[in-house]
Structure 1
Amino acid sequence: MSILGVELRRSAALGAASITVVIGVGALYLASDRWSSGWMPLAMAVREYLLLLWPLALAAGAWQGRREHRAKVGELFTTTARPRVQRMLPVAGAMAITLAIAYLLVTAAGIAWMITTAQHLPLLNFVVVTGVGVLSLIAAAWLGLGIGRMFPALVTAPALGVAGVLLVFVSAIRPADWLAAAISPVHGTSRFHAWQTIDNRVSGALSIWMLALAITGLLLLVAGGWRARTAALLPVLLGLTGAIAVVPRDRDVLNWPVDPIARELVCTEDTPTVCVSRLHANVLEALTPLAREGLTVLAKLPNAPTAVHEDTSTYVSGDIRPAQDGVVTIPIRIDSRGGLAHPVAVLPEIVNRLGVGYDERCQNRNDVVERAAAYWLLGREPQSDVGVIPGMLSEDPEINAEAVRLWQGLRELPYDEALARVTAVRDAILACTDTTGMLSGSAR
């Protein structure tokens, strides 16, 4: 324990851990809106940042591995009776302990940020994904230690750092999905939908591979000759074989699996009903009055919808959930503090398309007519979606100008006539027919 304490104080372990914490926490907080919705998004975000942290650990291990060569004491130590393994294990232990704590501190910083808002905790998956991240960082450090001791040149550490970045990045995007999932610590961590998770079979395969790398690095660190160093490659071959045998081949499982519990709807107890996914349950209170205001606006139409649900479709995998009768579906966005983002967009998104859900099979949309009809229900002049609907960056000014003209025409009509035309537009949207010209013309 005293030797381990010396290694903790005097080796590169504390420095590498400190840099890991600074980079990891900084990267998390700079993009907190990407993971602030819950525990699993946080675990995946920290794993994704292994794109930076894994090469750092690899380079730190290599720098530490050349210590004896740098101090020119290698030959001196070989004359001592103390076994090489006994000398090297405290170094490896110090690197493992400090980097594991550093990874957990980065995760804890994220938990502290969203602990008051995140409600859905898939405990097993969270622990597994985090644990695999810790193992990956240790494997990188131990592999770096072994390579640094084998090739104790000054350029080894920076070269390994660059190679590590390329290795992690290329292995995540270039090979077949199943191979990337088995060997890359960041594969599958980029989120393409809110309810994404990492399948435990994928985590198991990656654990086998990272454990093999760690063992190889440790064997290289303690190896005394070329035969031992050659034998140290055996765990890599066995680990790769085992990981490939275990990893699933289903593309949806590899890339964007869904946590079904996170996607379950949680609804208000009173009516009109408003529902969000369990992952976003913390914004239900903030969303409810806005959603009900939208339903009140739509209530002017006959057979108007009576509920608002979060759209839980996962478009990247083609899992499009058809809207239920009487239900308006809208996207839910989470801000950097875990609350409801863009609340001003809720009302327009409910009233746009007059409460009819989007159907990709319908190619007869006329945004001008739909906007004029929607803003007639809202009782105010149409405005551009730019600055209102997130992601809308530009729009032809003629679109809104034409919508204003149609809206003014509706206002000049008797209320019943205007309502009939707006209702006809809604029915045409439901029937996937063209709505062009349905608001033009004088009163009948």
Structure 2
Amino acid sequence: MSAAGSAGASSVETAVPSRRTAGSPAPAPSPPPRRRPRRVLGTELRRGLGPWSAVAVVVVCGVTMYSKAPQWQGRWTGTTDLLRVMLLLCGPLAVAVGCWQGGRERRRSTGDLLASLPRAPLRRALLAVAPAALWPPAGYLVAAAGCALATWPYAGAGRPFLSQTAADAVALGALGVLGFVAGRLVRWRLAAPLLAAVTYVGLGISAYMDSPVRWLGPAYRHADPWDRPVWWFGPASMVWTAGLAGAALLALAARRRISALLPLTAACAAAVVLTQTGEGLWRPDPAAARLVCDDGTPRVCVTAVDRKLLPSVSAALTDLNAKLRGVPGAPDRWVDGPRAPSPGRNQGAWEAQLPNPFELSERGTFSDPALYANWAAGHLFLQGCSAEYNTPAARRASDVNSAVTRWLAPRPGATVLPPEGEVHLRRLHAMDPVESRAYLARYLAADLCRFDEVPVP
């Protein structure tokens, strides 16, 4: 054989693998490439209703909070409380998304195929529930961050209640998990909207019922701006909601369903602590109730949570204070907050109660300063009398009181007074400064509950 033939044969032998000899073991098949858990989780999170549910939560919270901005923008407690109420709308959405996600394998007829894979049932359930458990809380946290940024420039004392917001986000994720479990168990396409309606009713009942059980509902609203939650309120709420969701998921997919008893026990223990503590979950915050005063006469004092409203309150009461300044029996200062004014009318130096300035404020200013001054003048003479009001003397005293209030703090566009009240008001306007101050001193010194003693202008 020539050299060229030998080289060709050699190259053929090198290029073509030799046949396996008899009796030699077969080569082991190469294992299929394994996908990393992070890559699988990322795929699950990117597809389906998950991302859209987060967008829906942001839109629902954003639109609703924007429409109710005067109720929360300026107080951290108001922002946190109204965000909690948003769970009435976002909770049913999370449950519906979870229920639809739970029935995905049944709708696609892929349950048997997935069951044949070596992946554990609990791991498959965790991957499948991830979009419903993570996306709605993510959208809620984005909306909460936006509301916090909107509150920051106008809020006074205090800070965001981050643990409460985190507990609400956990509750939203837990509702998604519970909806997923229901979707796995209920073979009905209309289960998602029906379960959302039931969730809305349940959250609404728990939020407004007069029972210790209301502290377990994530949508319950505590509206006192001078309180703060105890430090463990948020974590206990997380244990309660996450424990229920974890127990339901373990009972559905774990190899040993008895393992569901551990999170269920933790949830029950947290529920007992929350219901037994009750109103004690919120405690007075001295820093929030601290008075901040101006230098006027009478002085105007608001609590630290509304300290940024103090210039607006002082400006609204400028004309009213000018008429009260130096008059015997006039208040030494106006006060607002949880503390009661003291010692009272006709007892020397006293404090008059201010109306809540937050009710008429919007982004740090008053929408109607004249109305606020009129409210303050009405509070000046507000007394609870046990006498009979349906008498001629009582009606006359009421007309005089309305005229004096309107004279101290006139409000353009207000309703017309009764005929007798208009007569009294014209007489007050006709007085010179000395006469009007002398009459106001007599009026402040009178017992307004003794209608016959109320001086007539």
TM-score normalised by the chain length of structure 2: 0.78
Q: Tell me which of 286, 291, 297 is aligned to 2:312.
A: 286
Confirm or deny: 8 A CA contact 1:36 1:337 kept in the other structure: yes
Match of 1:166 in 2: 201
What is the rounded CA distance, in whole Å, between the counterparts of 1:25 and 1:328 in structure 2?
39
Q: Tell me which of 143, 151, 170 is aligned to 1:135.
A: 170
Task: Call closer, same or farther: CA 1:411–1:6 in 2, change over 3 Å.
Answer: closer
Give the deviation of 1:432 after TM superposition.
4.0
Confirm whether residue 185 of structure 1 aligns to residue 218 of structure 2.
yes
Which blocks of at least 5 consecutive residues in structure 2 are unaligned?
Answer: 1-37
What is the rounded CA distance, in whole Å, between the counterparts of 2:362 and 2:440 in structure 1?
38
What is the rounded CA distance, in whole Å, between the counterparts of 1:95 and 1:28 in structure 2?
23
Match of 2:450 in 1: 433
Give the SS at the match of 2:361: coil
TM-score normalised by the chain length of structure 1: 0.81
Q: Tell me which of 66, 69, 79 is aligned to 1:32.
A: 69
Give the deviation of 1:12 after TM superposition.
2.1
What is the rounded CA distance, in whole Å, between the counterparts of 1:302 and 1:72 in structure 2?
86
What is the rounded CA distance, in whole Å, between the counterparts of 2:429 and 2:71 in structure 1?
43
> Which deviations, in whole Å up to 9, do the C-alpha atoms of 1:42-87 show, x marking residues without a partner?
1111111101111111111010011111110101111111212222
Match of 1:147 in 2: 182
What is the rounded CA distance, in whole Å, between the counterparts of 2:53 and 2:429 in structure 1?
68
Q: Look up the equivalent residue of 1:243 and give its one-letter code.
A: A
Give the deviation of 1:14 after TM superposition.
0.8
What is the rounded CA distance, in whole Å, between the counterparts of 1:265 and 1:413 in structure 2?
37
Q: Look up the equivalent residue of 1:209 and give its one-letter code.
A: W
What is the rounded CA distance, in whole Å, between the counterparts of 2:44 and 2:352 in structure 1?
61
Confirm whether residue 115 of structure 1 aligns to residue 142 of structure 2.
no
Match of 2:239 in 1: 208
Confirm or deny: 8 A CA contact 2:300 2:334 kept in the other structure: yes
Confirm or deny: 8 A CA contact 1:306 1:326 kept in the other structure: yes
What is the rounded CA distance, in whole Å, between the counterparts of 2:179 and 2:432 in structure 1?
78
Counterpart mapping for 1:19-418 below 5 A: 19-123=56-160, 126-174=161-209, 177-181=211-215, 183-187=216-220, 189=221, 191=223, 193-195=224-226, 197-200=228-231, 202-223=233-254, 228=257, 231=258, 234=261, 238-239=265-266, 241-247=268-274, 249=276, 252-253=279-280, 258-268=284-294, 273-299=299-325, 301-309=327-335, 311-313=336-338, 320-322=340-342, 325-331=349-355, 332-333=357-358, 334-352=360-378, 355-356=380-381, 358-360=382-384, 366-376=397-407, 397=416, 399-410=417-428, 416=434, 418=436
What is the rounded CA distance, in whole Å, between the counterparts of 1:362 and 1:428 in structure 2?
16
Q: Look up the equivalent residue of 2:312 and give its one-letter code.
A: A
Instruction: Report the structure number with the largest CA radius of gyration.
Output: 2
Q: Look up the equivalent residue of 1:424 and give its one-letter code.
A: R
What is the rounded CA distance, in whole Å, between the counterparts of 2:184 and 2:167 in structure 1?
26
Task: Call closer, same or farther: CA 1:422–1:291 in 2, change over 3 Å.
Answer: closer
Give the deviation of 1:352 after TM superposition.
3.9
Give the SS at the match of 1:247: helix
What is the rounded CA distance, in whole Å, between the counterparts of 1:248 and 1:42 in structure 2?
24
> Which deviations, in whole Å up to 9, do the C-alpha atoms of 1:180-205 show, x marking residues without a partner?
21x21112x153x4435545555454
> Which deviations, in whole Å up to 9, do the C-alpha atoms of 1:82-135 show, x marking residues without a partner?
212222222333333322221111112212322211132335xx0111011011
Give the SS at the match of 2:302: strand
Match of 2:47 in 1: 10
What is the rounded CA distance, in whole Å, between the counterparts of 1:301 and 1:233 in structure 2?
73
Give the SS at the match of 1:285: helix
What is the rounded CA distance, in whole Å, between the counterparts of 1:322 and 1:111 in structure 2?
36
Confirm or deny: 8 A CA contact 2:378 2:405 kept in the other structure: yes
Confirm or deny: 8 A CA contact 2:341 2:350 kept in the other structure: no
Give the deviation of 1:215 after TM superposition.
0.5
What is the rounded CA distance, in whole Å, between the counterparts of 2:172 and 2:343 in structure 1?
44
Give the deviation of 1:155 after TM superposition.
1.8
Match of 2:15 in 1: none
Q: Look up the equivalent residue of 1:160 and give its one-letter code.
A: L
Give the deviation of 1:323 after TM superposition.
5.8
Which blocks of at least 5 consecutive residues in structure 1 are unaligned?
Answer: 314-318, 389-394
Give the SS at the match of 1:345: helix
Give the SS at the match of 1:302: coil
Q: Look up the equivalent residue of 2:60 and give its one-letter code.
A: I
Identity of aligned residues (%): 25
Match of 2:29 in 1: none
Task: Call closer, same or farther: CA 1:252–1:424 in 2, change over 3 Å.
Answer: farther
Give the deviation of 1:297 after TM superposition.
1.1
What is the rounded CA distance, in whole Å, between the counterparts of 1:239 and 1:259 in structure 2?
30
Confirm or deny: 8 A CA contact 1:59 1:158 kept in the other structure: yes
Count of aligned positions? 407
Q: Look up the equivalent residue of 1:433 and give its one-letter code.
A: R
Give the deviation of 1:341 after TM superposition.
3.9
